[in-house]
């Protein structure tokens, strides 16, 4: 039995990458999906690509701007009539090899603003609707919240904040809305990019062998976990962070 059929979800950053994989998976379960994404080109492409899969809408949204985040939620309610799940997936990636002493506050604030503040904004304005359906929130963090490469300060801090936001919301919404978090590891999503940015990444055997699971992750690996966490099967799970990384963070490495 599919308890998610006909239920409504908002997926932020749902037009590319992991978010696009989540959108596709939800449509395959018979859910209705509203994509809130800042990239209009990607959003319109995804609408066209997935239109045959089910009921789907797109709202161009900068989730770091409260009025835009609220508008996306209002538009989803107008279109579909209710809201059962919020998937806070949208994020600006880490800014590359910028040493912390050279990282400008404008860039720092932008990453925190989208990745962390944006997730709070979307939760804030979704909560009244989610309470009505006894729905769920899933926040997408990262293994970079618990481990790092050099020069990841803003991104890692934002993703660490997502984990803390998760357990805080779970307690504030106790008995009304369940809130959980997923921390993906290496998920290969080059085929989930918009056409103008799509470049195939050729994974090597060495790439796969870094993972105790024997392979690099796929968007579907995260989408399956998201679907489980919003389903009735996960009714006793809230406030938790689930690391989905093929075991990589549990692997000791000696040089």
State the catalytic residues: 155
- Residue 78, number of CB atoms within 10 A of its CB: 9
- The position carrying tokens 């997923």 is 182
Q: d(Cα 56, Cα 8) in Å, to the nearest integer?
A: 10
What contacts 125, CB < 8 A, 6 or more positions away?
Answer: 66, 69, 70, 73
SS3 content of the chain, % helix, strand, coil (to 5): 50, 15, 35
Beta bridge partners of 180: 138
How far, in Å, CA of 164 to CA of 19, rounded? 21
């Amino acid at each position: 039995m599919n308890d998610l059929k006909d239920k409504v979800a908002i997926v932020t950053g749902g037009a590319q990458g992991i978010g696009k994989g989540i959108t596709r998976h939800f449509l395959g379960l018979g859910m209705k999906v509203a994509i809130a994404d800042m990239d209009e080109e990607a959003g319109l492409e995804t609408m066209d690509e997935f239109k045959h899969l089910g009921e789907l809408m797109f709202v161009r949204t900068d989730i770091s701007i409260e009025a835009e985040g609220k508008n996306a939620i209002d538009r989803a309610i107008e279109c579909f009539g209710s809201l059962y799940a919020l998937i806070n997936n949208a994020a600006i990636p880490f800014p590359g090899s910028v040493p912390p002493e050279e990282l400008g506050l404008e860039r720092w604030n932008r990453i925190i603003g989208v990745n962390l503040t944006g997730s709070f904004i979307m939760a804030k304005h979704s909560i009244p609707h989610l309470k009505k359906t006894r729905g769920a929130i899933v926040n997408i963090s990262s293994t970079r919240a618990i481990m790092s490469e050099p020069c990841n300060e803003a991104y890692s801090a934002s993703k660490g904040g997502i984990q803390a936001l998760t357990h805080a919301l779970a307690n504030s919404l106790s008995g009304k809305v369940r809130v959980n978090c997923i921390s993906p590891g290496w998920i290969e999503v080059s085929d989930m990019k918009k056409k103008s940015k799509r470049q195939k990444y050729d994974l090597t055997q060495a790439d796969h062998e870094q993972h105790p699971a024997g392979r690099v992750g796929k968007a579907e690996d995260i989408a399956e976990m998201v679907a489980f966490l919003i389903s009735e099967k996960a009714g006793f799970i809230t406030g938790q962070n689930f690391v989905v990384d093929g075991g990589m963070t549990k692997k000791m490495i000696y040089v």
